[in-house]
Amino acid sequence: MTIDWQKEVDARKDALLEDLQNLLRINSERDDSKVTSDAPFGPGPVAGLKHMLAYGERDGFVVKNVDNYAGHIEYGEGDETLGIFGHMDVVPAGDGWDTDPYEPVIKDGKIFARGSSDDKGPSMAAYYALRIIKDLGVPLSKKVRFVVGSDEESGWGDMDYYFKHEEKPDFGFSPDAEFPIINGEKGNVTIRLTFKGGNGVDYQLISFKSGLRENMVPGTATAIVTAASADDAASLTASFETFIKEEQKISGHAELSDQTVTFHVVGKGAHGASPQSGINAATFLATFLNNYSFAEGAYSFINTLAEFVHEDFYGEKLGTAFEDEKMGKLTMNAGIVNFDPANPENSLVTLNFRYPKGTSAEELQEKVQKTVGENVTATQGGRNQEPHYVPADDPLVETLLQVYEDHTGQKGHEQIIGGGTYGRLLKRGVAYGAMFPGYTDTMHQANEFMALDDLFRATAIYADAIYRLAK
């Protein structure tokens, strides 16, 4: 059977775009303060999940909602199941947007909105690919299950719950990365640094706040400091203004009120898997404050950030640097940076490591603890995802690369990334698109976008891939 997949996509462009815009209007950020039994990650993620599943019901698929944690849209019959994994939750919009992040805007051939490239746009491309298969009545020998998640950007509690109630597909892909393919993903673990209470005499750190998520480079940072005198506070403010002028990578300002100075720093947000692509506002602010005499917990907090974390994208200062020939270098991102002397349990720095095979979360924790010393406590926080790899000669990888080559005329090749996708949920699972080589990465950043041509081209590739894998 010969099918012009791009022609089929072109016939559905308007419908695809309308459905995507409606989905992007949903603020599906996780909000733990509003968790209920019906909204396990807050109202936003479940709204996105239900909206996506409603498309499946509208279009005549078999649909199942698994207690508002996750769900699936299913087509076909067979002893084997091809899984496609997308997610409706998004990271917080943050600051710096030129438009409303939850009112999609189409400009210069791109659609701007939070989630446009991670992962609502690619998920919609994969969904419409499956819809084309169904519309054409293409005979399949395998079942195809499009699994929709709602907690990919946080703890993956959606998939933990889903797979307690549903069988895992036999193989599959996640449209949540880039082409030609991602068949390897580094390990992913967060080491949390906690600090004792206490402050200084000459200068006191009243608060320090930066970061929205562990897997985002903090684009802004704010700190409040009191000095021993109004003159010292004025001198501190003047020094900060000089610091900002000299540092070409950041901007910022200080507000002086008697003996209190409030500092604001603006860097550049980025995906935590590529911390070198961002400018961590928190660590820059810490390098400035490290020139002044703080004490106890405040000193440990500032000094640790300035001496061991600032621009240490590969763990060299922390003593955790590691590289594997196939998977590349370990990376580290300081995502959440907070200091609260009144509540020491809230004073922490999260170090999110993406590590290759050959090291382990336990080894990283031990090395970090040795480096930061006894006044700081290093513990593992949350899930540890070990490195994942599907060999290049696996039929899944070979088929997906062939589809990519046939549609683009470009040679396919394996890739390994620091980002973690749902592809790693399956032993034979990979990430596949929807971003093409040379794309501008705006995931987890302000003014996130997806090029419409890429959206439609990816849809055709997904349709052909589903057909070849399940026919």
DSSP letter assigned to residue 345: G
Q: CA quadruple 78, 81, 82, 86: dihedral positive or negative?
A: positive
What the block records as the tokens of 157 is 């509690």
Question: 58 exposed, middle or buried (CB, 10 Å; 0-12, 13-18, 19+)?
Answer: exposed
How many Å apart are CA 314 and CA 317, to the nearest integer?
A: 8
Q: Any idea what the Cα angle at residue 99 is, between residues 96 and 104, rounded to 5°? A: 130
User: Cα 176 from chain centroid?
Assistant: 10
| β-bridge mates for residue 172, sequence order | 83, 429
**CA-based torsion, 109, 113, 119, 124: positive or negative:** negative
Residue 309 in tokens: 């974390």
* Catalytic residue (choose from 152, 214, 340, 414): 152
As beta bridge partners, residue 451 has 110
In angstroms, the Cα distances linking 4 to 66, 74, 455 are: 35, 23, 17
Residue among 89, 158, 185, 340 flagged as catalytic: 89
Handedness of CA 120, 121, 123, 129 (dihedral sign): positive
CA dist., res. 417 & res. 423, Å (int): 12
Please give the full DSSP string across 228-296, using - where no structure is assigned: SSHHHHHHHHHHHHHHHHH-SS-EEEEEEETTEEEEEEE-B-EETT-GGGSB-HHHHHHHHHTTS---H
Catalytic site residue 362?
no
Whose tokens are 């597909």? That residue is 169
Segments of 325-394 assigned E as strands: 328-329, 331-339, 348-355, 376-385, 388-389
Catalytic residue flag (residue 89): yes
Across 319-439, the runs of DSSP E, i.e. the strands, are 323-324, 328-329, 331-339, 348-355, 376-385, 388-389, 416-417, 429-431, 434-435
Cis? peptide before 437, omega within 30° of 0: no
Query: 135: burial class by Cβ within 10 Å (0-12, 13-18, 19+)?
Result: middle
Angle between helix axes 120-136 and 452-470 (nearest 10 degrees) is: 50
Which residues are catalytic, by number? 89, 152
